[in-house]
Amino acid sequence: MDTKRLKLLIAEGEGLTVEFKEQYTAKIDRDIVAFANTKGGYILLGVADNGKLTGQKLNNKMKSEVHNLARNCEPAINISRVMQLGEVAVIEIPAGDEKPYSCSSGYFRRLDAVTQKMTQKEVRILFRETDTVAFESLVCRNLNIKDVSLAKVKAFFNETGTSLKVSKTNLPLFFSSLGVVDKNKVNNAGALMFASKVEKVIPYAESIMAAFKGNDKTHIFDRKDVRDDLFTQFNEAVSFLMKHLNIRSEIKGVNREDAYEIPLEALREAVVNAIVHRNYALKGTSIYVRVFDDRVEIENPGGLPSGVTMQSLGKSSVRRNPIIADLFHRMGKVERMGSGIDRMRDFMRDAGLKEPVFETDNFFRVIFYRKPSYSLKQIRETVVKTVGKTVVKTVVKILTLIKDNPKITRKELAAQTDLTIRGVEWNLRKLKDDGAICRVGSAKGGYWEIGKTAETETQKTGD
């Protein structure tokens, strides 16, 4: 540890392996135990939660107390070092080989940037898992540091909101602070996030997205396979869902608000959950995102993590891949304390929709049911009856926008459908010719009216 490394740790903020403390207290034994039970890490005394330096002077008495606190843990913990660097006192704790460790206050572990007390069940799980090494922590044998994409590393730090200058020279330093290197070699978590060509080093770490006509897998009309880093997989999955879900626009005052039929926040939580909890050691499997007429399914290989049951789902925070979870937490994609399941439920409930259904076998699956009013099949049938060969998706969008706001302008339609003004006019003319819509009043002060056939069908699918 040197001043340069310390500044980097402070700039990156608290995380799985870093804890800030404004001043020394004997309660740091909880953090010492937590780091020993997880991946090891640093306690920085004299740093506020926001990264502002408050200062902590290290003396021999304090240094002795820190070592005594660690020795009094069960089993005893050997502190790597206690040192003064500028205004900060640094305590380095190694990952323990005799987990689980406890102090006088109990058993603790790190969960993202939080030291959390463990339940009895979590302690038992840690006992069982002590003899096994998680896949994400294993060194990626097929990856050299030169095969890391600087662009992906920079994109990561951009998402975290930190302006750090990354180069091939200081890359090992950054990776060490993020927990993605082991003895100067990149581990699988680092490969999954930052490899230039993930498909070359971990070829089965992919996400497959598909949209189907109907409620089963018989007729597929769109598919996308993503073999890239996990952040790219996250973005591509969310984009695919946005592409195939319907939007309802509401005019509130002078503002227009777009609402997806399933809250995007809930879908993002499900996608992140699949990425963070996937068992990457299983070959020949993928994360799947499927869109059907009546539902959306998001699933990951591996089922529930060891020790988690369907009954305890959302009540206990057991992460299969804590390093990957920490990286997504740093980017603001994962909330603390394992709240993803409850957040999915809350988002759906707040939108007046049915709560998601959770299933598990060899996969863990989240199912979001769509409102019948948004059924692609019903809307598709409506459009076929009223507009013949006009492009289904575009027409559905135009009809929905007109129904929600009869006074919508051509310019607004163009903005919301990604069409040109000429494209909007062509579709409107086709709709009018087919009797699906008509214009009432003048071009400026008038409004659109949906034709009787289209109105009847739209009411069936829109109410």
Instruction: Report the percentage of the chain scoring pLDDT > 90.
Output: 44
Is residue 351 situated within a structural domain? yes
Same domain, 359 and 217: yes
Domain annotation covers residue 324: yes
- 171 near 147, Cβ under 8 Å? no
Residue 332: phi, psi to the nearest 5? 80, 15
Q: Which of 311, 322, 373, 369 is nearest to 344 (CA)?
A: 369
Q: Over 90: is that where the pLDDT of 336 sits?
A: no
Which residue, 75, 95, 130, sits at the end of a domain?
Answer: 130
For residue 181, the enclosing domain spans 145-201
Q: Residue 269 in contact with residue 344, Cβ under 8 Å?
A: yes
* pLDDT at res. 378: 45
The CATH number of the domain holding residue 339 is 3.30.565.60
Same domain, 316 and 248: yes
Mean pLDDT of 355-382: 74
CA dihedral 310, 311, 313, 319 (to 10 degrees): -80
Q: In 9-119, which ranges are E strands?
A: 18-21, 41-45, 81-85, 88-93, 102-103, 106-111, 114-117
Same domain? For 421 and 295 the reply is no
Q: How remote is the C-alpha of 363 from its chain's centroid?
A: 18
Element spanning 185, H or E: strand 185-186
Is the pLDDT at 388 greater than 50, yes or no? no
Is residue 379 helix, strand or coil?
A: helix
Alpha helical stretches, state H, 130-182: 150-160, 171-178
Which tens digits make up the pLDDT trace of 452-463? 444 444 444 444
> Same structural domain for residues 234 and 346?
yes
pTM, 2 dp? 0.63
Please write the tens of the pLDDT for every residue from 52-85.
Answer: 999 999 999 999 999 999 999 998 999 999 999 9
Is 44 domain-assigned?
yes
pLDDT on residue 282: 84
3-state secondary structure of 280: coil
Phi, then psi, of 50 in degrees rounded to 5: -85, 5
* Residue pair 174/18 in contact by the 8 Å Cβ criterion: no
| Average pLDDT of the residues in 358-369 | 91
Q: What is the pLDDT of residue 421?
A: 84
Which residues make Cβ contacts (< 8 Å) with residue 326, sequence separation at least 6? Answer: 15, 16, 17, 112, 113, 178, 179
- pLDDT tens for each residue of 184-234: 889 999 999 999 999 989 988 999 999 999 999 989 989 999 999 999 999
Q: How many domains does the chain have?
A: 4
Residue the block writes with tokens 């770490």:
205
pLDDT at 380 over 90: no
User: Which among 195, 178, 350, 336 has a CA at the least distance from the CA of 264?
Assistant: 350
Does residue 228 belong to any structural domain of this protein? yes
The pLDDT of residue 144 is: 83
* CATH number of domain containing 109: 3.30.950.30
Residues 219 and 352 in one domain: yes
pLDDT given at position 127 = 76
- 398 and 420 belong to one structural domain: yes
Q: Are residues 411 and 341 in the same domain?
A: no
pLDDT of residue 456: 43
Alpha carbons 431 and 395: distance in angstroms, whole number: 8
Axis-axis angle for helices 421-433, 410-417 (nearest 10): 110
In this structure, are 151 and 125 located in the same domain?
no
Q: What is the DSSP letter of 15?
A: B
Pair (185, 301) in one structural domain: no
Which of 353, 370, 387 is the last residue before a domain boundary? 370
pLDDT on residue 382? 45
CA angle 271, 276, 279 (to 5 degrees): 110
- Beta bridge partner(s), residue 107: 102
Read off the CATH number of the domain in which 418 is found: 1.10.10.10
Last residue of a domain, one of 312, 342, 370: 370
Q: 3-class DSSP state for residue 43?
A: strand
Q: What letter would DSSP give residue 80?
A: S
Q: Looking at the structure, do residues 391 and 282 belong to the same domain, yes or no?
A: no
Give the C-alpha separation, 115 to 112, whole Å: 8
Residue 289 within any structural domain of the chain:
yes
- The answer to whether the Cα torsion of 64, 70, 74, 75 is positive or negative is negative
Q: State whether 388 and 245 are in the same domain.
A: no
The pLDDT of residue 374 is 54
Residue 283 falls within a domain, yes or no? yes
Contacts of 133 (CB under 8 A, 6+ apart): none
For residues 391-417, give the mean pLDDT: 85
The pLDDT tens digits for 415-435 are 888 888 888 888 888 888 777
217, 354: one domain: yes
In sign, the C-alpha dihedral spanning 224, 284, 318, 48 is: negative
